[in-house]
């Protein structure tokens, strides 16, 4: 009946608006966080690059309908994913350093882990 539908519509409308509000608010906060800090910008560009490369590889597999050689695909894809994850961990430590780990040490660990990751990827791709 008429009275029942209108509140629902209102609910949906409000939740939709809440959703878009949230998204826009978080985007604004993000811009603010990144604007001053060159380090964070650098990290974020690298992350975006990695996402792009990963998506390209995935699309290639879908387009070619053939994941041969699977080990190469996995190596390439995990290089992107792994590096991305390491970058995000580093970013978190840059924003708010963990207890007992200085930013320099964090970066050093990041380099070490990245080297291990690269070695594994190269070994995997044969």
**Taking CB under 8 A as the criterion, which residues in 11-70 touch other proteins?**
15, 18-19, 21-23, 25-26, 28-30, 32-33, 36-39, 42-43, 46, 49-50, 53, 56-57, 60, 64, 66, 68-70
Helices (H), the chain: 2-35, 38-64, 70-95, 103-125
Tokens of residue 40, six digits: 């964070």
- Yes or no: say if 87 and 47 are a contact pair by the CB < 8 Å rule: yes
What is the distance between the alpha carbons of residues 48 and 88, in angstroms, rounded to a whole number? 11
Nearer of residues 6 and 64 to other proteins, judged by Cβ:
64
Nearer of residues 6 and 33 to other proteins, judged by Cβ:
33
Residue 9 found at the interface with other proteins (CB under 8 A): no
């Amino acid at each position: 009946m008429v009275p029942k539908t209108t509140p629902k519509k209102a609910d949906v409308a409000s939740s939709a608006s809440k959703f878009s509000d949230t998204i826009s608010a978080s985007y604004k906060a993000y811009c603010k966080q990144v604007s001053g800090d060159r380090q964070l910008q650098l990290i974020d560009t690298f992350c975006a690059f990695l996402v792009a490369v990963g998506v390209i590889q995935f699309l290639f597999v879908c387009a070619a309908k053939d994941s041969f050689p699977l080990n190469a695909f996995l190596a390439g894809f995990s290089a992107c994913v792994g590096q991305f994850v390491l970058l995000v961990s580093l970013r978190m430590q840059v924003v708010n350093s963990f207890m007992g780990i200085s930013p320099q040490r964090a970066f050093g660990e990041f380099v070490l882990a990245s080297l291990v990751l690269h070695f594994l990827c190269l070994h995997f791709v044969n």
